A and B are shown apart, each in its own frame.
Chain A
Amino acid sequence: MLIRRFFLIAGGTIGGLGTVLSITPPQFGATTGLALGTGGSLAGGTTATPLASPTPASTTKATSTPTKKPKKKPTGGTKATTPPPASTPTPVSTPKPAGVSGTFTGANGNTQFGPVQVQITVVNGKITNAIGLTYPTGSFRDQQINQQAIPYLIQETLAAQSANIQGVGGASYTSQGWVNSLQSALAKAGL
């Protein structure tokens, strides 16, 4: 029943989202390397930390720091015993296909203004377009918000996915209905 890598983002009014959007133009390029980049470099919180020890946590610095992935350890151990690929005479795998391409439609998501359904177009694994197939159009404001909201939500979704989290603290105004539909479209695309 649960989608793999299910995640959630704190909810909020779409009206608020519109306001945010007008001052924050979405930038697709910025999605990679977001999120966990800083999580690994910050001490404290989940691990035992001396009482009130100041920890450096530069936000700008942290994004450029390589992410520490604890999972890498066991993988590294197995790899060490694996013969190098050079000893294999014939290539086993076919050439890697280019990234997925196509149009993917998300499931319906519900917002308090009505149902939303997001469709994304993917070329070589990159989202090139996103439209709302179904979305609240009750007012001019709804339409205005919808034109801006989807690219913005893609960015937010990708950020949360790479962090593999189910919720976000700190004020947020993204409607979960949008995110649910978008998440479903991304899952279908295998992104």
Chain B
Amino acid sequence: MAERVHTTAEIDVWGTIVFIEVASTKVGLDQLNAGLAEVTDYVRLIDEEFSTYKPTSQVSQIRRGELKIENASAQMQEVWHLCEVARDLTDGSFDPWVVKGGYDPSGYVKGWAAEGCARILQRHGAENIQVNASGDLYLAGGYENGKPWSIGVRSPENKFEVLKVFEIYDGAIATSGTYELGAHIKDPHSGLIAIGARSASVLGPDGGLCDALATALIVAGKDGAVYFSKPELAEYKVWVINRNEETAWSIAQPSE
């Protein structure tokens, strides 16, 4: 069909802003806006269920021992299960169950929900999609005309500096590190501030898993390279800035 329509939106949710860019040559602006409206409802619902700051959320109820996971919502159970998978794949460096205060899947949910947003938008006919959940992104369909999205990774020390640019058609890129929020990642086992890496970016098909892996690499540092020899992570790609040296390391898959 005819003209390419393009629009952007910002959703104020999760204590931050989710930025969305969509374009399509198949559907009109009305359909894209309908998709954005559904996405807005979706992220608000995720916030209602998963926020650790809202005492009424299901996660808060689970943390207080008032709600058993088998009685929680379907997506709560899904994330619980996916977090178990992520915990095993990272040899426990990502573990939402051992953090202080009880079960906290926040390190998984942002990337997982970003992908969920992209799926909703695809159902509404969006072809080129960027969902940027404050630095954790899910991309689909490339940028335009068969070109990939160019996604920069900020320096953890200077947000004006883009250290690395990745070209992505479809998939997630999640970055963890000591950015504006400060040292917010703790080693789940020692309870201390994680000291493995300064910044970790993970690229791959699964948004939630990328988010969890990036978090785990901040804890494990170079030791985390071993995760990516597992067959489940064969499609994943990594870029990490080491903690105490001015060096970085990366893993790219042989197929590239």
Contact = CB atoms under 8 A, between A and B. Distances in A.
Interface string B155-176: 1111111111111000001110
Interface in A1-51: 1-2, 8, 10-13, 16, 20, 24, 30-31, 34-36, 38-39, 42-49, 51
Contacts of A163: 150, 152, 162, 165
B247 interface: yes
Of the listed residues A10, A48, A112, the one surrounded by the most CB atoms of chain B closer than 10 A to its CB is A10
B239 A171 contact: no
Interface stretch (B14-22, B31-39, B45-53, B72-80): B14-22
Interface residues of B, number: 68
B85 interface: no
Interface in B117-131: 130
A21 to B, nearest CB: 11
A108 interface: no
B163 A54 contact: no
B161 A56 contact: no
Nearest to A40: B165
A165 interface: yes
Contacts of B56: none
Contacts of A160: 152, 162
Interface in B1-48: 3-6, 8, 10-12, 15-19, 21, 23
Interface stretch (B62-70, B92-100, B135-143, B186-194): B135-143
B154 interface: yes
Contact of A166 (B130, B159, B174): B130
A11 B132 contact: yes
A48 B256 CA distance: 6
Contacts of B173: 169
B154 A170 contact: yes
A31 B158 CA distance: 12
Interface residues of A, number: 60
Nearest to A14: B17
A141 to B, nearest CB: 15
A59 B161 contact: yes
Given A11-B18, A39-B165, A163-B152, A171 B179 contact: yes
B249 A36 contact: no
Interface in B164-221: 164-167, 173-175, 177, 179-181, 199, 201
6 contacts: A59-B157, A156-B159, A167-B137, A170-B153, A173-B134, A176-B10
Interface of B: 3-6, 8, 10-12, 15-19, 21, 23, 130, 132, 134-137, 139, 143-144, 149-167, 173-175, 177, 179-181, 199, 201, 222, 225, 228-229, 237, 239, 241, 246-252, 254, 256
Interface of A: 1-2, 8, 10-13, 16, 20, 24, 30-31, 34-36, 38-39, 42-49, 51-63, 110-112, 155-156, 159-160, 163-173, 175-177, 180
The 9 closest A-B pairs by CB, nearest first: A44-B250, A57-B248, A11-B17, A11-B19, A171-B179, A170-B154, A58-B246, A169-B175, A52-B225
